[in-house]
Structure 1
Amino acid sequence: MQQALDILKKYWHHDTFREPQDKIIQTVLEGKDTFTLMPTGGGKSVCFQIPSMMKDGICLVISPLVALMKDQVANLAKRDIKAIALTGGISTSELSDLLDNCRFGNYKFLYLSPERLQSDWIIERIKELPINLVAVDEAHCVSQWGHDFRPAYLKISALKKHLPHVPFLALTASATQRVQEDIITQLGLKDPVVFKKSFARENIAYMVFETEDKLRRIQQILTKNPEPSIIYVRNRKSCHDIAHQLQSLGYTATFYHGGLKEKEKEANMQAWLKEKAQVIVATNAFGMGIDKPNVRTVIHIQLPENLENYYQEAGRSGRDGKKSFAVLLVSPSDVDIAKSQFIEVLPDKKFLKEVYLRLNSYLQIAYGEGIDETFPFNFNEFCQRYKLPVIKTYNALQFLDRQGIMTLSQEFTEKIALQFIIPSKEVMRYISLNPADEETILVILRNYSGIFDMETSLNTSLVTKKAKITEQELLNLLQRLQHKGVITYRSSGNDSSITFNEVREDNHTINRISKFLENQNEIKTRQFESVVNYTSNTTRCKSRLILDYFDEKENSDCGICSYCITKNKTIKSPLEIANAILDLLKISSLDSKELEQKLELTAQEIVFSLQLLLEHNKIRINTNNKYTLK
């Protein structure tokens, strides 16, 4: 293994392998099929990159994540290692040229999505390449019991017939026992050597705090733990809002989401990596390929969709082995909100059929036709024409894409982007002179807080609905505002395109795939219930709850999570708390939140003591709504 270690030192600048990287590499070099379950941060990519570099030929890497493919290709390029990714939007002729480059250009890594394997001609071209290893990343996608099932992954097993002497390496960061067994079966791995690293992260304290004032709790956490932190939020607007709120409170904060331009993404990420910003507020678009060892705190301020995603995102803390915190802030309404966002928007068979039929009508595809045809597609207009709920419709189209019925050229983006280029006070002056435009402009300003600072994508459906105007009236207004120098805006026309991979067959198409839809809906519901159980369970160690979910048994509590701390904390009597309150109030007047923070107690723990002190005339509430001594 000395050669492998030399490569690790030369290209990755590490002196030793992490357990069990070296064993996986040795197994791959021996030509054996291998299954690897290595939780996030374990260094999975090295397990296929190094053995491939030790052999002649090229490694075929199959991954469903375009962002991750691009990230890995870029990182390899920085190390002067030749790699190429066949992502979407590449024409057939370009693909052919790129595959020629792979064959004759001394490339070491070829990244492609599983959907590419559905093209017979690409399979034929792959057979011509000197493949030395097939690495299947995010391998849980092959299992219908997994949290991200993609039928295109089922085609990978066909490669075994074409590459009988090439070892296959399946990698995943999160899979239950049932999913692990299904991966091995569906990929057709032959007597695979199985490596499973424990999901236990002994240095991470999993914390669940119930709070009405999440921003205040974030302040407390960031003040107590001033090292690099990530705050995960669910949407782009929250990224801007939370980052700006933290900046106004004196913290160095930046943000990251999929809607930013590449230059801004890179600038914001580097600011955080180089610790010019303590906090990065991000959607789940952030984190892939990021290996910053000293992240001390990862905070989620909304419920995650499933524990698989939560575990991966929380696991970006503490990679240096030092004690770190994975904090989930919850309020009483969070479960209902998350249920409406994750569960109630799942399409059933009836709705899926309606969307499929409407789509064919919208694109004017006759029964028995449409295969291999590509159509420009305006998602917002489609939903408006047929009065379809936006998120549920998007989920239905995404399911049709994952089932291979059709291919969406990209994730849908709003087709209008704008920015106000005059100060806010001048906008108010414009409104006073043009009262007919007031409601629509105010709707835009209320819903897009960063629109003075940067070009912002506009959800026209949201704006027209709230302002009670038509899309054409909105477009007319934007044109007027641009003409008068109030805004700059651009319209991208059709925001996507759709290619049909099968002929239109209505009932036959929907009936064939509906069993997968029902199964996926059931899985997503169970996964959400597991999240609710994780947050609401007050009788078990949080670390053990996570290990249980991944079918890993642990008999002892972690000792550092929010449950363990509460369990081990000495319970103070109301009299002790009352005396502690009086001692603090001798120094200065404080409100209940400040008392909670200084005494490190919950509202429930101090409220009785406060009532006692008020009743016995020991304290009073002053005009600033703070408690003070009488």
Structure 2
Amino acid sequence: MVQALEILKKYWQHDTFRDPQDKIIQTVLEGRDTFALMPTGGGKSVCFQVPAMMKDGLCLVISPLIALMKDQVQNLAKRGIRAIALTGGIASDELSDLLDNCKFGNYKFLYLSPERLESDWVIERIKQLPINLVAVDEAHCVSQWGHDFRPAYLKIINLRKQLPDVPFLALTASATKRVEEDIIVQLGLKRPVVFKKSFVRENIAYMVFETEDKLHRIRQILTKNPEPSIIYVRNRKACHDVSQQLQSLGFKATYYHGGLKEKEKEANMELWIKEKAQVIVATNAFGMGIDKPNVRTVIHIQLPENLENYYQEAGRAGRDGKKSFAVLLVSPSDIKSAQSQFIAVLPDRNFLKETYQRLNSYLQIAYGEGIDETFAFNFNDFCKRYDLPVTKAYNALQFLDRQGILTLSKHFSEKISLQFLMPSKEVMRYISMNPADEELLLAILRNYPGIFDMETSINSSLITKKAKATEDELLKMLQRLQQKEIVSYKSSGSDSSITFNEIREDELTINRVAKFLEKQNGIKVEQFVSVIDYITNTTTCKSRLILEYFDEKETKDCGICSYCITKERKPKSPVDSANAILGILKAQPLGSRDIEKQLELTPDETIFALKLLLDSNRIKMNTNNQYILK
């Protein structure tokens, strides 16, 4: 392993490997298939990057996370290592050129989304590349028992068959025993060596606090722990609201969610990374590939969907090994709220069938047709027209997308109906005099030959891709042509596009996938029940609850979580607390929070002692909602 250490020092400036990185690297170098379960922060990428640098050829990395792929390519480039990521939105001819570059351009890493493997020609081209290792990141996505199943991962086994002598390395940060066994089968790993790092994070104190006023509790936590923090919220609006509330309290805060423009994401991230902002308020779009070692506190102010996600997000705290806190704030209404958000919105078989049929009606697709057609799609208009519950309908479309029946792409585009008002020879004459419009016009004419005879719906995404132009350039050209009475066109906005990967078959289509829907709904319910047990269990160490969920049976109390601290702390006598309150009220009037803070009481102890004093007429409240002596 001397050469491996030299590469680690040269490119990553580390002197030693973390356990079990060195063992995984050795196994990969021996050409053996490997399964590695390494919790968040365990350094998974080094396990394939170092051995790939030691071998001739190219390492193929399959990852579902575009942001993570781009981040790793940029980090490798900073180290002088050539890497390329083939993400979505790249046209086939451009993709072909990029694959040629991989063959002849001295690249060491090729990052690819699993959806790319659904094209047989891509697999054929990969076969021609000098692949020395295939690393499958987020490997739990291949398992229908996992929390983030993606059908495209099932195509990876086709690649396994085409590259029988290339070692495969499956990597995941969260998998139960059942998911682990499924990954090995679904990826076709041959007698894999299995490495499992414990999920124990000895430096993280898992805290669950019940509170009516979450903002007040956050203020206490951030004041006590002024180092970098992450607050996870459920939606984009909460990102902005909580960030503004924290700023009004004097904290330097910023926010991050999937709806921000790239420049704004980068600017806000930079503020937090460089510690010009103490806290970043974020949705779960934030975090993948973020390796800031001194995050001291991760706070969730709403219940997570499952413990897999919670463990990964909480695990972004304390990567420097110092004591850190993963805090989950709970109010009495949270369970009911989370149930309505996560469970009540799961589509059943009948709702899935209804949504699928109405989608076909909305897009005017006849029975037995639709395959390989792409349509601009306004999701909100669709739900409004058929009076469908928005979240449930979105979950149904997402399920159809994951099953490969359709592909749902989220982006804003225009739905355009167009007809040429001049004969074709006049249009060609216009093109010869206006060469700047040539590519767009030729793309329209080649794809819609009947556009001179009738008003025709055109796919703006298809046209702009073929003409290598933007949506804005297309719309401006059509506006000019309409002013000159060369065309007549109408447009309406859409927030996504849908591509149908199969013909419409209604009952046959839904019957084929309904069993998977029922299975996944059952898994989601099980996962949610585990979250409820985590927050309501008052007799078990929080760290142990997480470890047992991930099938680690030999566990011990951590000594630092909210349960362990409560267990070790002797409850204060209500009489002693009441006397202590009388003592500090002699000096000045105080609110309940000030009393709690000064006497280091729990909220329950404070409330009970105050009730005793009020009932016995020893204290009363003034006009400022403070307690004073009678």
Q: Which moved more, 1:558-567 or 1:149-158?
A: 149-158
Q: Which moved more, 1:545-554 or 1:72-81?
A: 72-81
Query: What secondary structure sits across from 2:410 in the alignment?
Result: coil
CA distance in 2 between counterparts of 1:376 and 1:272 reads: 37
Preserved CA contact (<8 Å) 2:413 2:494? no
Instruction: Tell me which residue corresponds to 2:508.
Output: 508
Instruction: Tell me which residue corresponds to 2:280.
Output: 280
- Residues 300-326 of structure 1, C-alpha deviations (whole Å, 9 max, x = no match): 000000000000000000111111110
Change (3 A) 1:97 1:410: farther
Change (3 A) 1:337 1:272: same
Instruction: Tell me which residue corresponds to 1:607.
Output: 607
Instruction: Tell me which residue corresponds to 1:24.
Output: 24
User: 1:51 corresponds to which letter in structure 2?
Assistant: P
- How far apart are 1:66 and its partner, in Å? 1.8
Instruction: Tell me which residue corresponds to 2:459.
Output: none
Instruction: Tell me which residue corresponds to 1:153.
Output: 153
- How far apart are 1:492 and its partner, in Å? 8.6
CA distance in 2 between counterparts of 1:283 and 1:369 reads: 39
State how 1:122-521 maps to structure 2 within 5 Å. 122-410=122-410, 493-521=493-521
CA RMSD of superposed structures (Å): 1.7
Instruction: Tell me which residue corresponds to 2:447.
Output: none
Change (3 A) 1:17 1:411: farther
Change (3 A) 1:27 1:413: farther
Query: What secondary structure sits across from 1:410 in the alignment?
Result: strand
User: 2:545 corresponds to which letter in structure 1?
Assistant: L
CA distance in 1 between counterparts of 2:288 and 2:92 reads: 29
Instruction: Tell me which residue corresponds to 1:448.
Output: none
Preserved CA contact (<8 Å) 2:376 2:414? no
Preserved CA contact (<8 Å) 1:157 1:187? yes
Instruction: Tell me which residue corresponds to 1:588.
Output: 588
- How far apart are 1:94 and its partner, in Å? 1.3
- How far apart are 1:360 and its partner, in Å? 1.2
- Residues 241-284 of structure 1, C-alpha deviations (whole Å, 9 max, x = no match): 11110111011111111111111111111111111111111111
User: 1:144 corresponds to which letter in structure 2?
Assistant: Q
Preserved CA contact (<8 Å) 2:412 2:493? no
Preserved CA contact (<8 Å) 1:220 1:597? no
Change (3 A) 1:617 1:555: same
Query: What secondary structure sits across from 1:605 in the alignment?
Result: helix
Q: TM-score, length-normalised on structure 2?
A: 0.86
- How far apart are 1:119 and its partner, in Å? 0.9
Query: What secondary structure sits across from 2:74 in the alignment?
Result: helix
- Residues 467-492 of structure 1, C-alpha deviations (whole Å, 9 max, x = no match): xxxxxxxxxxxxxxxxxxxxxxxx99
Instruction: Tell me which residue corresponds to 1:628.
Output: 628
CA distance in 1 between counterparts of 2:355 and 2:109 reads: 39
Q: Which moved more, 1:172-181 or 1:593-602?
A: 593-602
- How far apart are 1:411 and its partner, in Å? 6.5
Instruction: Tell me which residue corresponds to 1:14.
Output: 14
Change (3 A) 1:564 1:414: farther
Query: What secondary structure sits across from 2:327 in the alignment?
Result: strand
- Residues 315-352 of structure 1, C-alpha deviations (whole Å, 9 max, x = no match): 00011111111000000100111111111111111111
Instruction: Tell me which residue corresponds to 2:430.
Output: none
Query: What secondary structure sits across from 2:178 in the alignment?
Result: helix
Instruction: Tell me which residue corresponds to 1:437.
Output: none
Change (3 A) 1:235 1:492: farther
Q: TM-score, length-normalised on structure 1?
A: 0.86
Preserved CA contact (<8 Å) 2:204 2:326? yes
Instruction: Tell me which residue corresponds to 1:69.
Output: 69
Query: What secondary structure sits across from 1:351 in the alignment?
Result: helix
Query: What secondary structure sits across from 1:19 in the alignment?
Result: coil
CA distance in 2 between counterparts of 1:614 and 1:509 reads: 67
Query: What secondary structure sits across from 2:493 in the alignment?
Result: coil
Preserved CA contact (<8 Å) 1:39 1:199? yes
User: 1:122 corresponds to which letter in structure 2?
Assistant: V
- Residues 408-430 of structure 1, C-alpha deviations (whole Å, 9 max, x = no match): 22368999xxxxxxxxxxxxxxx
CA distance in 1 between counterparts of 2:612 and 2:181 reads: 60
CA distance in 2 between counterparts of 1:621 and 1:414 reads: 62
CA distance in 2 between counterparts of 1:312 and 1:544 reads: 16
CA distance in 1 between counterparts of 2:336 and 2:614 reads: 36
CA distance in 2 between counterparts of 1:385 and 1:60 reads: 45
- How far apart are 1:293 and its partner, in Å? 1.0
User: 1:84 corresponds to which letter in structure 2?
Assistant: I
CA distance in 1 between counterparts of 2:320 and 2:363 reads: 53
Query: What secondary structure sits across from 2:375 in the alignment?
Result: strand
User: 1:125 corresponds to which letter in structure 2?
Assistant: R
CA distance in 2 between counterparts of 1:54 and 1:177 reads: 32
CA distance in 1 between counterparts of 2:492 and 2:306 reads: 34
Preserved CA contact (<8 Å) 1:379 1:412? no
Instruction: Tell me which residue corresponds to 1:482.
Output: none
User: 1:607 corresponds to which letter in structure 2?
Assistant: I
User: 2:96 corresponds to which letter in structure 1?
Assistant: S
Q: Which moved more, 1:201-210 or 1:254-263?
A: 254-263
Query: What secondary structure sits across from 1:494 in the alignment?
Result: strand
CA distance in 2 between counterparts of 1:346 and 1:333 reads: 20
CA distance in 1 between counterparts of 2:389 and 2:618 reads: 57
CA distance in 2 between counterparts of 1:414 and 1:144 reads: 36
Query: What secondary structure sits across from 1:495 in the alignment?
Result: strand
CA distance in 1 between counterparts of 2:600 and 2:554 reads: 30
CA distance in 2 between counterparts of 1:194 and 1:512 reads: 34
Instruction: Tell me which residue corresponds to 2:4.
Output: 4
Change (3 A) 1:592 1:121: same
Change (3 A) 1:278 1:210: same
User: 1:545 corresponds to which letter in structure 2?
Assistant: L
Instruction: Tell me which residue corresponds to 1:578.
Output: 578
Instruction: Tell me which residue corresponds to 1:532.
Output: 532
Preserved CA contact (<8 Å) 1:228 1:295? yes
CA distance in 1 between counterparts of 2:548 and 2:158 reads: 34
Is 1:119 the counterpart of 2:114 in the alignment? no
Preserved CA contact (<8 Å) 1:34 1:170? yes
Instruction: Tell me which residue corresponds to 1:45.
Output: 45
- How far apart are 1:588 and its partner, in Å? 2.6
User: 1:324 corresponds to which letter in structure 2?
Assistant: S
- How far apart are 1:593 and its partner, in Å? 2.3
Query: What secondary structure sits across from 1:368 in the alignment?
Result: coil
Preserved CA contact (<8 Å) 2:135 2:171? yes
- How far apart are 1:140 and its partner, in Å? 0.7
- Report how many residues are paired: 555
Change (3 A) 1:606 1:89: same
- How far apart are 1:608 and its partner, in Å? 2.7
User: 2:396 corresponds to which letter in structure 1?
Assistant: A
CA distance in 2 between counterparts of 1:409 and 1:624 reads: 55
Q: Which moved more, 1:406-415 or 1:591-600?
A: 406-415
Q: Which moved more, 1:553-562 or 1:327-336?
A: 553-562
Structure 1: state its 5+ residue gaps. 416-490
User: 1:104 corresponds to which letter in structure 2?
Assistant: F
- How far apart are 1:46 and its partner, in Å? 1.0
Query: What secondary structure sits across from 2:407 in the alignment?
Result: strand
CA distance in 2 between counterparts of 1:586 and 1:412 reads: 64
Instruction: Tell me which residue corresponds to 2:107.
Output: 107
- Residues 200-233 of structure 1, C-alpha deviations (whole Å, 9 max, x = no match): 1111110000000000000011111111111000
Preserved CA contact (<8 Å) 1:375 1:498? yes
Query: What secondary structure sits across from 2:620 in the alignment?
Result: strand
CA distance in 2 between counterparts of 1:328 and 1:414 reads: 42
Q: Which moved more, 1:357-366 or 1:275-284?
A: 357-366
Preserved CA contact (<8 Å) 2:410 2:496? yes
Q: Which moved more, 1:8-17 or 1:162-171?
A: 8-17
